[in-house]
Structure 1
Amino acid sequence: MPRLIILVALASLLGTITSKGYSAESASQGQILDPAAHNLTRLEPLRFGSETDNSALQPKEYRLKVGQGYRWKIQATPGSEYAFIAPAFFRNIWIRKVEAGEVEIKSATLDEIEFENGGEAELFFVAIRPGTYEYGSKGMMERGMVGKIIVESVDGAPAAGSPKQGD
């Protein structure tokens, strides 16, 4: 008799779990998704230099949301050396990986992405802390190669005491 009660209780529990959407099938359908790997938002590519101006930088502003995963392509025009830096931003995101050609780099931290003579890299990350952050090309920011990334909280409210470039 106790076995029968246990079996009925287990069957009832299994029926409840399945009816609430917690079945193995729903898990395999992606009910729980990692924001760093699924539903990534592609940002407009960041371009260092142009055919006519090696100090061009486009775009100069990005708006992101905390908790969202992103793919960000960084492109450098051939003919100049560029070192993409964003120290405060890099400290306030979770980096999943950087792809450069056929190489994937998985690292918890990032200082800069340097392009010797043009090229392309793609950064996969999740924004984790609201704030306003500067980015640019090392040694060329004083010539206007600087932009800003605004990371908003989930509710869209600006962050109080947002970290700045030196934070």
Structure 2
Amino acid sequence: MNTRIAALALIALPFASVAVADEDKGFGLAGILSASNKQDLPPIQLSAGMPLTDAPWELTSGTYYEFEIQGDGSQELALVGPEFFRAIWIDEIVVEGLEIRPLGLDSIEFDEAGEMEIGFVAIKPGRYYLKIPGSTGETQRLEITIK
């Protein structure tokens, strides 16, 4: 009987230490997906000849982020950033109430007006970008740093 109790205590020990560590960081039961670890980013605007955003993004590895991409339909526009998409873990992409949980992403494209929301966890520190393919202007590119 004592052997079984000791064995159960040893099995439960790693889970207890994880729970204590999460409480120290302020995470809830969902860990890094907890609301206390979530930040909203400014939206990206896809509009012919208009800047994507007002300022570069500075992200922290391990933090959950959400942002919207808003296309006004003025032109077929895409965003590419394969290096950035490989440096994050995408939780979900929401388009008109439909939730998509991809294994990876290379680019997105708006053929007409619409919105999408992307939720992700920043993982790999470095400097990245999202840009409109074929464009050369600075306003058509979003610089992203993950610390």
CA distance in 2, matches of 1:119, 1:46: 12
After TM superposition, give the deviation of residue 60 of structure 1 in Å.
4.2
Secondary structure of the structure 1 residue equivalent to 2:65 = strand
The two structures, once aligned, show a CA RMSD in angstroms of 2.7
Partner of 1:56: 50
The answer on 1:44 being equivalent to 2:42 is yes
Larger radius of gyration: 1
Once the 2 structures are TM-superposed, how far is the Cα of residue 142 of structure 1 from its aligned partner? 1.5
Looking at secondary structure, tell me which structure has more helix per residue.
Answer: 2
Whether the 8 Å CA contact 2:28–2:34 is kept in 1: the answer is: no
Q: Which residue of 1 aligns with 2:109?
A: 114
TM-score for the superposition, normalised by structure 2 = 0.75
Query: Structure 2: which 5+ residue stretches go unaligned?
Result: none
Contact 2:46 2:70 in 1 (8 A): yes
Q: Could you tell me the TM-score, scaled by structure 1's length?
A: 0.67
**2:90/2:102 contact within 8 Å kept:** yes
- Of 132, 136, 139 in structure 1, the residue corresponding to residue 131 of structure 2 is 136
Distance 1:133 1:55 in 2: 22
Moved over 3 A (4+): none
**Distance in 2 between residues matched to 1:31 and 1:100, nearest whole Å:** 27
One-letter amino acid matched to 2:54? P
Q: What number of residue pairs does the alignment pair up?
A: 129
SS at match of 1:89: helix
